[in-house]
Structure 1
Amino acid sequence: MPVPSISTIKLIPSIAGKLALAGGTLAFGSWLLSDIVHLPGGGAGFLVLGAGAWWLTRPSKPASFSEPSSIPGWIRRCELVLAQFSELELSLGLEGLRSPREQELDGLKAQQAPLSVGVVISEGATHPSTPELQAALQGANPLDLCIAKPLPVVADAWSWPQELEPLDVILYGLPMPLRAADLLRLEQLPTDRPAWLLIQDSLQDSREARQEALSCQLPKPWCDRLLFWSGESADLRRGLSPVRRHFAQPARSREITKQRLLTSLHRRWQAELEQLRRARFRSLLQRSQWIVAGVVIASPVPSVDLLGVAVVNGLMVKEMAQIWGCSWSSEVLQVVARQLGTAALGQGVVEWSGQALLGMAKLDGGTWLAAGLLQGLSAAYLTRVVGVSMADWMALNAGVAQPDLEELKRQAPLLVAKAAERERLDLPGFADQAKEWLKTQTVASA
């Protein structure tokens, strides 16, 4: 594929033209303000007026999630998510969505556990004994020392055990030479978490050379968190001095841990909330797509027109706004749906889905009606793609008072392309649903 480039010959006239236009505008504006309007300092005044006009007409930036920077801020965020679970309880007719999560948040707010250090190694590695660690970490504040079970070096997933999540500090003992399993495990440990790498070496080795060698193998954020230990107790205490300094302010250490736990809780709740919303949306989408198919078949047109199913899609979009808690006006919702629908038609979703569904219909002789009702099936598939891309957009803008429609124009093709790709993988499932729907239509017509 050729590398895109910019022609220098075309660029120079463009820049010269813009500079000439800007200079002419500035000269004309200066003459106009000084000689005609008699405004003192015409050139400077013109520049000030131009800057003011640019400030008033500059494009607005889309609203984004503002991450809290304190414990009360994260608690308020979690309480907002709890309110959304309560709304889903009412809309879905479910029970037990809010109560257990509210108890979890209350327990986290009232947590007064002592400071803790977790020591973790992989199978085959060694760590200092418990008395040596207790003596090396001894300071002004009491600490709980937790020795975790060795982590397996052969595993399907490299995530860290959940039991280590509440601990304030983690010491990860790395063997020398480094193994691939330890590096894979290290990639799953967030760099913003208080953690150090404990490495045992001999006194004869040059630690500067060892640290330089490790810097070439470890991810960059961990190169400044290396703690060396020669095997002697006195050397271990010197090596663990950064950990003791971390606990010099116990209130600050507890605050860091509690804020990290609240952040993780909020992230997990948002994922669970989105999963519930997607389940509700799937049932809504399946109902709406076959209503659209019925409307198109009842009023056949030469091509699938988005306006022909605007009423059904409009009702679906309103219900989707209730699911995601979007307080947008009906006009905004219709603009978003129309923009995504136009992008889907522009990418040829209808033409591709029509050919694919016709090919799948020929696989089974009992579904010969699919060829005659292909137009309705294509309309249903178009509704499916537009609905999924709309759900992705609402998930990205949940909690935003007013979405940025200009940003939507830029993102609509990508949202539709991703939704079409996901639904393309689920096309056999859609074809099975189409067969069941066709059978019901055959029975109803008979």
Structure 2
Amino acid sequence: MMTAKIQRPILVGGIGLSFLLWLVNSMAHSAAEFGETALVGTIALGAGLWWIQRQFPKTTPALTPKIIDRQTVDHAIAYTGSTIEKLTAEAQQSRLAENFTANIGQFQQQLTQLTSQLERQTLSVGVMGGKSVGKTQLMQGLSANGIGQYSKPLTFVEIPEGQQKPLTDCDAVLFLTGGDVTDPQYQTISQLLLQSHRVILVWNKQDQHSQEEQPVILQRLRETMAGLLEGEDVVAIAASPSPVKVRQHQADGSVKEWMETQQPNILPLTERLSQILKQEQQSLVWATTYRQAKALQAQVKTGLNQVRRERALPIIEQYQWIAAATAFANPVPALDVLATAAINAQLVIDLGGIYQQKFSVEQAQEVAKTIGTQMLKLGFVELTSQTLTSLLKSHTVTFVAGGVVQGVSAAYLTRIAGLSLVEYFQSLEIDEKESGQFSLNINALNQTLKTVFQQNQQLSLLQSFVKQAVNRLSPQIQQKQASQSPAS
């Protein structure tokens, strides 16, 4: 007979008890039918709103990027160091220790470099924008002519479209546009500002518009960016003006024509950039160092999550087989197979311990109940029961034993719950996760449950799991069949 003995306070008096899970009554909704005239009017109105939204990007309230001062940077560096220490300690307790030895050494080296970066004098300016907006020509012009009154070392980095990694090391960003700002561009600039980047919006190729149109377009850009950028941080230039046709009347009455090259006009940009670099140099360096510290934190977190996941998987497997044995021995209705409070609550506590989250018994029970309820509402419990019933029919000998479907289903859903908790913990920001203050976000949990459930729905994975579960339950199945067979 298969037995499971665990020294856990919740399990001692709790195994066999079940939660009462409920389904939320769906509300019936009805929609009024529109007549032909109303329908045409609605389509016209919708088309008009779509056109307006396309022409004028949505504006948002003024952003308030996090102020990065020296204290904030020092805290980020110190916290990164403590995270590296956690990785070092926890990696030594796992089979992945050798894999992380080199990585940990690199992390520590990068951490040391962060402190020295705070005193650097060389600044870096990123130049980004869509295709054919003049990034290369602008960089050449800035490199050749310098930045006004700013005489300290300065480097320019072209940021390929869609790439964010090089931006981490840029102290300021020149965002080029060839005209109106599209909604994706607006959102990109918003994200840059939220990441404490210093941004200047540069309207290049103003020479392609008439003298009368140029100030109108510039003002429209400044109005569009109001709430994100100050007016002086939106400038108009012509990094590589198109040649103009010159016509000259000769003494003999003939007319001579030629194309005359125009000089670049980037003075508005160099003046504003020079002012920013001179006045804000120290804060620019702090902001960049802070981003670098956060980027390093993310790398360390990835390693820490790998180590912790490797520790969590055996625990999940342990509890899934306990759930299988319990549900098989005491079959419950199919829709209540996840309602074994003791097993799931203890699983929450043990996984929380790995991910630096402390739960009381009451909190763990509440989290377990929430996960079970959400899985029921999402239809996972019923779908799992149906799918596993179909797969188990091939096991003709074992299928007839009462409780097999419930046992295998309980194991599978306990596994989904455990894997979802692991993914949820790993998705939390480090500061939030390690604070010990846990707050369950139902929307995020639902999305995690859906993702994990979908990832584990492959037929090969389900068949393998069923095979494992039947093997685990075999001693109990045989004992039950023997007790139910007539005496010879």
Q: Could you say which TM-score interval applies, normalised by the shorter chain? A: 0.5 to 0.7
Tell me whether 1:117 sits opposite 2:146 in the alignment. Answer: no
1:398 to 413, 424, 433: 433
Deviation at 1:184, TM superposition (A): 8.7
Deviation at 1:241, TM superposition (A): 2.0
SS of corresponding position for 1:117: strand
For 1:34-113, list aligned pairs within 5 A: 70-95=72-97, 96=101, 98-111=104-117, 112=120
Deviation at 1:347, TM superposition (A): 6.3
For 1:366-385, list aligned pairs within 5 A: 369=398, 372=401, 373-385=404-416
**Distance verdict in 2 for CA 1:419–1:293, change over 3 Å:** farther
SS of corresponding position for 1:108: helix
**Distance verdict in 2 for CA 1:380–1:86, change over 3 Å:** same
- 2:199 corresponding residue in structure 1: 195
- 1:337 corresponding residue in structure 2: 368
Deviation at 1:379, TM superposition (A): 0.8
1:138 to 145, 148, 152: 148
Give the residue type in structure 1 aligned to 2:110: E
Moved more, 394-403 or 319-328: 394-403
Deviation at 1:2, TM superposition (A): 5.6
Per-residue CA deviations over 1:365-396 (Å, capped at 9, x if unaligned) read 46884675211122113313432454466454
Which runs of 5 or more structure 1 residues have no equivalent in the other structure? 4-65, 153-157
- 1:167 corresponding residue in structure 2: 170
2:277 to 247, 256, 265: 247
Percent pairwise identity? 19
Deviation at 1:71, TM superposition (A): 1.1
Per-residue CA deviations over 1:403-445 (Å, capped at 9, x if unaligned) read 46xxx5xx55x56643442344122365133233146348767
**Distance verdict in 2 for CA 1:252–1:300, change over 3 Å:** closer
- 1:39 corresponding residue in structure 2: none
**Distance verdict in 2 for CA 1:399–1:168, change over 3 Å:** same
Tell me whether 1:297 sits opposite 2:328 in the alignment. Answer: yes
Deviation at 1:227, TM superposition (A): 1.9
- 1:56 corresponding residue in structure 2: none
Deviation at 1:142, TM superposition (A): 0.8
Deviation at 1:320, TM superposition (A): 0.8
Give the residue type in structure 2 aligned to 1:172: F
Q: CA RMSD in A?
A: 4.1
Which runs of 5 or more structure 2 residues have no equivalent in the other structure? 1-28, 32-65, 240-261, 479-488
Does 1 or 2 have the higher relative contact order (CA < 8 Å, sep 6+)? 2
Per-residue CA deviations over 1:12-39 (Å, capped at 9, x if unaligned) read xxxxxxxxxxxxxxxxxxxxxxxxxxxx
For 1:159-238, list aligned pairs within 5 A: 159-160=163-164, 162-176=165-179, 189-190=192-193, 192-198=196-202, 199-202=204-207, 204-214=211-221, 221=228, 224=231, 225-231=233-239, 235-238=265-268
Q: How many residues align?
A: 368
**What is the TM-score when the length of structure 2 is the normalising length?**
0.62
Per-residue CA deviations over 1:66-112 (Å, capped at 9, x if unaligned) read 99862112122212322331342134243225332222111111123
Give the residue type in structure 1 aligned to 2:200: W
Deviation at 1:260, TM superposition (A): 2.7
Q: Distance in 2 between matches of 1:120 and 1:85?
A: 36
**Distance verdict in 2 for CA 1:375–1:83, change over 3 Å:** same
Q: Distance in 1 between matches of 2:371 and 2:199?
A: 45
**What is the TM-score when the length of structure 1 is the normalising length?**
0.67
Moved more, 87-96 or 228-237: 228-237
- 2:256 corresponding residue in structure 1: none
- 1:6 corresponding residue in structure 2: none
Q: Distance in 2 between matches of 1:67 and 1:432?
A: 54
Tell me whether 1:359 sits opposite 2:400 in the alignment. Answer: no
**Distance verdict in 2 for CA 1:302–1:262, change over 3 Å:** closer
